[in-house]
Amino acid sequence: MPLFTKQTERARAALDAFYGSDLTTALTRHQREPPAEGALALFHEAARRVPAYGRFLAENGVEPTHVRTAADFAALPTPTKEDYYRRHALPELCWDGRLERSDFVAVSSGSTGEPAVWPRFVSDELGTAERFEQVLADAFDGGARRTLGVVCFALGSWVGGMYTTAACRHLAAKGYPLTLVTPGNNLQEILRVVRALGPLFEQTALFGYPPFLKDVIDAGRADGLDWAALSLRLVTAGEVFSEPWRALVAERAGMADPVRSTASLYGTADGGVLANETPVSIAIRRALSERPALAQQLFGEPRLPTLLQYDPCHRYFEVDGAELLFTGDGGVPLVRYRILDRGGVIPYARLLAALRDHGAEPLAGLDGAPARDLPFVYVFGRTGFALSLYGANVYPENVAAGLEGQDIAREVTGKFVLELEHGPDANVRLKLSVELAAGCVAGERLAQDVARAVRAEIERQNSEFLNYVPDARRTPEVVLLPLGDPGYFPKGVKHRYTR
């Protein structure tokens, strides 16, 4: 089949290189191959071979042959999902306009539940596999310890579970003593397979969204499961969590060293896994959690972002204002893609020097974990108004329809504030504050009606919410507030629907 010979040969070469290289060689290539040059080369190839990107450049007045330097590259327009991906037919976003040259697709839901489909080929998974390899080898000593990997992300067409499974199977094929089981986000099935298989391995790694993994740990404890005996490890993705949350979960799971037992990934359906926590980045974040003034000086906000390291040859990050851009290859190659996450990048040496200037030594006490000279990326989250619950984006548009039913609409104004509330047990839930219409009063029955209607609408519109969030966490806690409540609905102020 000559049509696919070039694609399969390229994939075979990439797979051979991945399986034949050690992690240190892979993570030092940015010292041999300048990442900016690789990003520029990807731009020129995409401009020539991706029909949608060629049109995007023409519409923005860009002549590709005039883009020769890093400065030229930094002036290129920045596509987004709305003005690039959704404006073109899916094949036109792919290399040579051929969707069939990808062998798999990942799906993510938007604010209306309309799926976004991101194609990839088997070789596109290797960069993500290296992010998992960093976690497994550098933090968990997974090259030497027999590891049971339990995929607790939702399975199906959604990106998290299938991508995690595919990437980790590459590591097993590479020679890591890693065996996977995929119960998905079925809590009782997770506990069943952990009880049956965990004792046969030297450590057990759970992969999933932070609040769900806490639910798993709490349920196991309540059922008498000895997590400490399983030498538990956690790999999370999708949400920012606090260092006190990490410490609490580590204590409940019997993990004596959270720095070497946990890791968060920064991943998206469009970009794969872009970056990952390392023992160095976790140690730094833990130190900064006790130095809020220094954290604000470094990151520009009075809250602590997720702090990770990344391979700039895999995903080339830039910052425009306070927003992250990345460039990377894939089934749909993306150049200076605006992912709508707020954050920034800091070179390795610069961040360590800043910490040392303030009396912190982040590399102390790492217990032999590698300290790799890779840049840091920090992430606050999306610039829009979505909240992330169990890895599912929950949008105001999902909520609004629940307030528009005839019986409810006459009692409320339609204004609301959606937020995440952490209870005394560190569990997270949706809190929905709703403004009452003039002359209406709060009542338990109305609050329950609103909660049921809103839940039903979110489930109807948002497949990620329905499949990611446990049933017991999907009903929001509804608080009914009087018209013009100064704390939530002040008059004369542009309203924000999330906090």
Question: Total domain count for the chain?
Answer: 2
For residue 490, give both structure tokens.
């002040």
Between CA 265 and CA 414 the distance in angstroms is 36
Least confident among 128-132, 158-162, 480-484 = 158-162
Residues 307, 403 within the same domain:
no
The pLDDT assigned to 403 comes to 85
In this prediction, residue 494 has a pLDDT band, given cuts at 50, 70 and 90, of low
236: domain CATH number? Answer: 3.40.50.12780
Question: How does DSSP classify residue 34?
Answer: -
Residues 226, 90 within the same domain:
yes
Q: Is 487 within the bounds of a domain?
A: no
Between CA 396 and CA 58 the distance in angstroms is 35
In degrees, rounded to 5, the angle at the alpha carbon of residue 143 between the alpha carbons of residues 137 and 147 is 95
- Give me the mean pLDDT over the 53-73 stretch: 97
Is 130 in contact with 314 (CB distance < 8 Å)? yes
Residues 311, 453 within the same domain:
no
Residues 448, 374 within the same domain:
no
Q: Which helix (H) or strand (E) holds 158?
A: none
Q: Residue 238 pLDDT more than 70?
A: yes
CA 440 and chain centroid, separation = 41
User: What is the per-residue pLDDT across 162-221, written as a single tens digit (0 to 9) for each?
Assistant: 999 999 999 999 999 999 999 999 999 999 999 999 999 999 999 999 888 998 999 999
Report which of residues 367 and 98 the model is more confident about. Answer: 98
Calculate what percentage of the chain has a pLDDT beyond 90.
Answer: 64
Domain finish residue from 363, 383, 403: 383
* pTM, rounded to two decimals: 0.85
User: What is the per-residue pLDDT across 405-437, written as a single tens digit (0 to 9) for each?
Assistant: 768 888 888 889 999 888 777 788 899 999 998
Residues 299, 440 within the same domain:
no
Residues 336, 400 within the same domain:
no
For residue 411, give both structure tokens.
């009692």
Collapsed DSSP state (helix, strand, coil) of residue 342: strand
In this prediction, residue 319 has a pLDDT band, given cuts at 50, 70 and 90, of very high
Q: Residue 385 pLDDT more than 80?
A: no
- Give me the mean pLDDT over the 57-67 stretch: 97
Between CA 349 and CA 51 the distance in angstroms is 40
Is 120 in contact with 331 (CB distance < 8 Å)? yes
Q: Which domain holds residue 406?
A: 392-481
Between CA 462 and CA 457 the distance in angstroms is 8
The pLDDT assigned to 1 comes to 43
Residues 296, 191 within the same domain:
yes
Range with the largest mean pLDDT of 299-303, 344-348, 394-398, 400-404: 344-348
Between CA 15 and CA 122 the distance in angstroms is 9
Domain finish residue from 383, 410, 442: 383
Least confident among 39-43, 64-68, 392-396 = 392-396
Q: Is 338 within the bounds of a domain?
A: yes
Between CA 118 and CA 380 the distance in angstroms is 24
The pLDDT assigned to 493 comes to 57
Q: Is 259 within the bounds of a domain?
A: yes
Domain finish residue from 361, 383, 405: 383
Is 312 in contact with 375 (CB distance < 8 Å)? yes
The pLDDT assigned to 492 comes to 59
Please name which of 245, 377, 389 lies closest in space to residue 315, comparing C-alpha atoms.
377
Between CA 496 and CA 435 the distance in angstroms is 13
In this prediction, residue 72 has a pLDDT band, given cuts at 50, 70 and 90, of very high
- Give me the mean pLDDT over the 157-165 stretch: 89
Angle, helix 279-289 to helix 243-252, in steps of 10 degrees: 110
The pLDDT assigned to 364 comes to 82
Q: Residue 112 pLDDT more than 50?
A: no
User: What is the per-residue pLDDT across 475-486, written as a single tens digit (0 to 9) for each?
Assistant: 999 999 998 899
Between CA 161 and CA 412 the distance in angstroms is 39
Alpha helical stretches, state H, 82-143: 126-134
In this prediction, residue 355 has a pLDDT band, given cuts at 50, 70 and 90, of very high
Which residue reads 């604000």 in tokens?
A: 296
Which residue reads 């830039």 in tokens?
A: 318
The pLDDT assigned to 94 comes to 97
Q: Is 474 within the bounds of a domain?
A: yes
The pLDDT assigned to 111 comes to 44
Residues 292, 200 within the same domain:
yes
The pLDDT assigned to 366 comes to 84
Is 230 in contact with 199 (CB distance < 8 Å)? yes
Q: Is 497 within the bounds of a domain?
A: no
Residues 288, 365 within the same domain:
yes
In this prediction, residue 293 has a pLDDT band, given cuts at 50, 70 and 90, of confident
The pLDDT assigned to 110 comes to 53
Report which of residues 399 and 424 the model is more confident about. Answer: 399
The pLDDT assigned to 213 comes to 92
Q: Residue 244 pLDDT more than 60?
A: yes
Residues 157, 304 within the same domain:
yes
Q: Strands across the sheet with 306-309, in order?
A: 178-181, 147-151, 203-208, 232-237, 262-268, 272-276, 306-309, 376-382, 334-346, 323-328, 316-320
Q: Residue 142 pLDDT more than 90?
A: yes
Report which of residues 402 and 134 the model is more confident about. Answer: 134
Averaged pLDDT score across all residues of the chain: 90
Between CA 214 and CA 29 the distance in angstroms is 37
Long-range contacts of 198-202 (CB under 8 A, 24+ apart): 198/148, 198/230, 199/229, 199/230, 200/148, 201/146, 201/147, 201/148, 201/230, 202/145, 202/146, 202/147, 202/231
Is 345 in contact with 204 (CB distance < 8 Å)? no
CB neighbour class for 43 (10 Å; exposed up to 12, middle 13-18, buried from 19):
buried
In this prediction, residue 78 has a pLDDT band, given cuts at 50, 70 and 90, of very high
The pLDDT assigned to 335 comes to 98
Collapsed DSSP state (helix, strand, coil) of residue 179: strand
Q: Residue 79 pLDDT more than 90?
A: yes
